[in-house]
Chain A
Amino acid sequence: MGAEVRGQAPRIQRYHAYADRIRPKPAVIHNVWWAFVVGGMIALLGQGITWGFQQAGLTGNRAATPTSIVLVGLGALFTGLGWYDRIVELGGMGGTLPITGFANAMVAPAMEYRAEGLIMGVGAKLFTLAGPVLVYGMATAFVMGAIRYGLGIG
């Protein structure tokens, strides 16, 4: 609360209580349902691509990386065409959480900042949103890996 606002505390509390009561809420059930549908569809697509690679002779785990690459390519393409933001507008986390959303988070800022040049524009901005994912993913994995190594289960 703004420290400068003297003698207004009760009035401010009453105001926020009223605002909280009438503030339009996100349609959580609607959002969660569409996150489920959209996220499920993208996972299903991924499963289909994996199946395709397996049919082509890549067994078991070896189909996983090519599947990721194809999905990332699709995410980047849809972002470039201006479609991916609409998928997320409907699906929320259903569009953001899959690896296609990771591609979207890299491509969107890079496209946006092209006017700022290839180095500090595109090059630097590719990682504005993807950077935190890599940093904290790596850090957590390092800690978990170290624990497993220490316990001798790595």
Chain B
Amino acid sequence: MMFVWAFLVGGLMCALAQLVMDALKLTPAKTVVLFVVLGAVAGGLGVYGKLVEAAGAGATVPLPGFGYVLVKGIDQAVQEKGVWGLFTGGFTAAAGGVKAALLFGLAAALAFRPKA
């Protein structure tokens, strides 16, 4: 059942982003930033966590899930370290994905050439 929800929620989130981009004539970069911000806001309001429970990867794979993870990481860090957690939490939570993107990105950039 989780697989069905993952497909539906992940697909619907991307479809909504496409609709917003086409309707408001936004660039892809602006659309992605907007949705990451929306994910962080929804995470802060406690809404996004429920979506993750229901849809799993359907909510974590699209980038609004990245915004949510940042907020969640800050929450955890604040519980452990108090106010300083506001500064450390986001990067800690995002470390896995960002560092992977950085390393694989570097490797791919060195290994491949752009193709026509």
Contact = CB atoms under 8 A, between A and B. Distances in A.
B112 A94 contact: no
Contacts of B115: 82
A97 interface: yes
A18 interface: no
Contacts of B12: 36, 40
Contacts of A99: 61-63, 65-66, 97
Contacts of A96: 17, 28, 31-32
Contacts of A138: 70, 90-91
A148 B44 contact: yes
Given A91-B14, A133-B33, A133-B63, A145 B112 contact: no
Given A26-B22, A32-B22, A144-B41, A50 B105 contact: no
Interface in A36-83: 36-51, 64-69, 71-73, 75-77, 79-82
A31 B18 contact: yes
A149 to B, nearest CB: 5
Q: Which 4 A-B residue pairings sit nearest by Cβ, starting from the closest? A: A43-B10, A39-B14, A40-B11, A144-B44
Interface of B: 2-3, 6-15, 17-19, 21-23, 28-29, 31-33, 35-37, 39-41, 43-46, 55-58, 60-67, 69-71, 73-75, 78-79, 83, 85-87, 89-91, 94, 96-98, 100-102, 104-115
Contact of B105 (A46, A76, A147): A76
B44 A145 contact: yes
Interface residues of A, number: 80
B50 to A, nearest CB: 15
Contacts of B7: 40-41, 43-44, 47
B21 to A, nearest CB: 6
Contact of B86 (A45, A106, A146): A146
A133 B32 contact: yes
Contact of A42 (B10, B75, B91, B96): B10
A136 B36 contact: yes
Contact of B61 (A42, A69, A146): A42
A120 interface: no
B10 A142 contact: no
Most buried by B among A38, A110, A154: A154
B29 A114 contact: no
Given A67-B57, A103-B101, A136 B37 contact: yes
B70 A73 contact: no
B16 to A, nearest CB: 8
